[in-house]
Amino acid sequence: MTKERQLRKQEEIRSIILGAARDIIEKEGIKGLSIRKITNAIEYSPAIIYHYFKDKNEIIETIVEEGYIRILNSLTVVERNEKQPEKEIKEVFSNYIKAALDNRDEYMTVMLNDDPILKQRTTILKKGISKSSKTMALLSETIKRGVEQGRFSECDVELTAQVMWTSAFGLIMKLMIEKDIAEDQINALIETHFKTLFSGIMIRKEEL
């Protein structure tokens, strides 16, 4: 057997393990995943896992990273809207929010697990930070454009961009907690959220 074929065989079993793990996570969530459940499903002994993975965390990390990358990939450049830059911004967030909702477990794990798993997942986090900061820069630019063309009021663009992120994060969390929301309802919530966010409620801004 050639070395390559051997490596392919190894990769195959690795992906069989990951496949079983994905199935379990889909049905029972990340917390429902256990080494013995995986090995029962693939009819191997529990110890086999440690021949293909360092530990259980490596399995979870791998799967979480896949989902997180799907989310990051949603952060693509959207069609430029010269007249209504706010539509551009809303579309970027809308894509991101939907991708996050499609990968709940993974998003939650990346975002708020400070426990065993994500201590040294620097790789995945770096990717996230890199992509997010690029998106943030793009967002700032769009806001700046809006200000320059007199459509947006004068503001600290970086700060405004950050508040938008924070606020969108809250919306994502809210939508994730209240599960079983219909697609069109999600769209409506995103719509009104950003509408309110853009418009603000103050009339005399100079007083703030």
- Interface of this chain with DNA, residues 24 to 83, rule: CB under 7 A: 33-37, 43-51, 55-57
Question: What value does the CA radius of gyration of the chain take, rounded to a whole number of Å?
Answer: 21
How many other C-beta atoms lie within 10 A of the C-beta of residue 154? Answer: 8
Nearer to a second copy, 63 or 168 (CB): 168
At 43 the three-state DSSP class reads coil
**From 6-14, 45-53, 60-68, 198-206, span contacting a second copy (CB under 8 A):** 198-206
| Rounded (5°) CA angle 128-71-183 | 150
Is 199 an interacting residue with respect to DNA (CB under 7 A)?
no
User: How near is the Cβ of 128 to a second copy at its closest, in Å?
Assistant: 12
Q: How many residues bind DNA (CB under 7 A)?
A: 24
Which partner in a second copy, DNA, none is near 152 (CB below 5 to 8 A by kind)? a second copy
Is 185 an interacting residue with respect to DNA (CB under 7 A)?
no
Residue in 7, 129, 137, 159 binding a second copy, rule: CB under 8 A: 159
- Interface of this chain with DNA, residues 13 to 32, rule: CB under 7 A: 13
CA–CA gap between residue 141 and residue 119 (Å, rounded): 33
Is residue 176 a contact partner of residue 108, using CB atoms and an 8 Å limit? yes
In this structure, the dihedral spanned by the alpha carbons of residues 98, 162, 60 and 27, taken in order and rounded to 10 degrees, is: -30
Is 4 an interacting residue with respect to a second copy (CB under 8 A)?
no
User: How near is the Cβ of 72 to DNA at its closest, in Å?
Assistant: 27
Is 31 an interacting residue with respect to a second copy (CB under 8 A)?
yes
CA–CA gap between residue 107 and residue 110 (Å, rounded): 5
Backbone angles phi, psi at 75, to 5 degrees: -85, 65
Helix intervals (H) in 42-121 = 49-52, 56-73, 85-102, 104-112
Residues lying near a second copy in the complex (CB under 8 A) are found at 29, 31, 86, 108, 111-112, 114-115, 143, 146-147, 150-153, 155, 159-160, 163, 166-174, 176-177, 179, 192-193, 195-205, 208
